[in-house]
Structure 1
Amino acid sequence: MQPDKAIIRIKNLRLRTYIGINPDEVKNKQDVVINVVIEYCDDKARQSDNMDDALNYRTITKRIIPLVEDNRFFLLEKLTQDVLDIASEHPWVERASVEIDKPHALRFADSVSLQLSFERDV
């Protein structure tokens, strides 16, 4: 029988950081919107109802927030990779993806986003 999978979605985490290479981007923090998807086997958590048997999305989010808010990034690729590293570091994580939007990055667009994914080799 195939193990059960859980998908955790952290939706629209709105943070501010220094992101970009233009003079005003280097000088001023900008909004970013972060979406994280994490897939893991949750067999034990479903049976036990014990937090030790589940991935704690609050702990993951509490690690993402200072990473984003307390650092400077030239590239959206680097910021996205750093968030993906946190989302995928637990050994139970089988797949993860992170998409980060940079609102108002282009004059005639709502935002520019970048998405990166991780899949654990089994």
Structure 2
Amino acid sequence: MSMHVLDDQHLDHDLATIRIKNLRLRTHIGIKEDEIKNRQDVVINAVIRYRAEKAVEFNHIEQALNYRTITKAVIALVEEHRFLLLERMTREVLDLIMSHDQVLTAQVEIDKPHALRFADSVSITLSDTREPRRPR
């Protein structure tokens, strides 16, 4: 039984967190006429967790989750598509990140600056996981 506890601790030991911070893009987002005609700014933040023991041990790029590849794909998705709802854009970005088999959990927050008159921005946050829930 103590071996199982050691295994769980070992698994958490090399759990890496990648944070993509304030990725600023322009896209078509919204339902009002001016939103449909004109691109608007969005700000994307993502937190991605994956097991990095092989990357840590072997120090080879092939063993790591390539955040540059993920970011390029997010840029292409957001800039090349039109979205009616911020929720839909957030879900599609999250699904794209989760499509990488190495990703265990991910959280995506997308801000739409100046969407409300007296607020800096409005944002939607969604998350997903491949990890089984541990009993408490």
* TM-score bucket (shorter structure): over 0.9
More strand by share: 1
Aligned to 1:62: 72
Following TM superposition, the consecutive aligned residue runs of length 4 or more in structure 1 with deviations greater than 6 angstroms are: none
Do the aligned partners of 2:105 and 2:131 also contact (CA within 8 Å) in 1? no
Aligned to 1:36: 46
Letter paired with 1:119: T
Bigger radius of gyration: 2
Q: RMSD over aligned Cα, in angstroms?
A: 0.8
TM-score, normalised to structure 1, is 0.97
Aligned equivalents of 2:78 and 2:130: distance in 1?
24
TM-score, normalised to structure 2, is 0.87
Of the three residues 75, 78, 88, the one matched with 2:88 is: 78
Of the three residues 93, 99, 115, the one matched with 1:89 is: 99
Could you tell me which runs of 5 or more consecutive residues in structure 1 were left unpaired when the two chains were aligned.
none
Aligned to 1:119: 129
**1:89, CA displacement in angstroms?**
1.2
Do the aligned partners of 1:11 and 1:36 also contact (CA within 8 Å) in 2? yes
Of the three residues 16, 34, 45, the one matched with 2:55 is: 45
Letter paired with 1:94: L
Aligned equivalents of 1:87 and 1:114: distance in 2?
16
Which has the larger displacement, 24-33 or 1-10? 1-10
More helix by share: 2
- Rate the CA distance shift 1:121–1:46 in 2: closer, same or farther, 3 A: closer
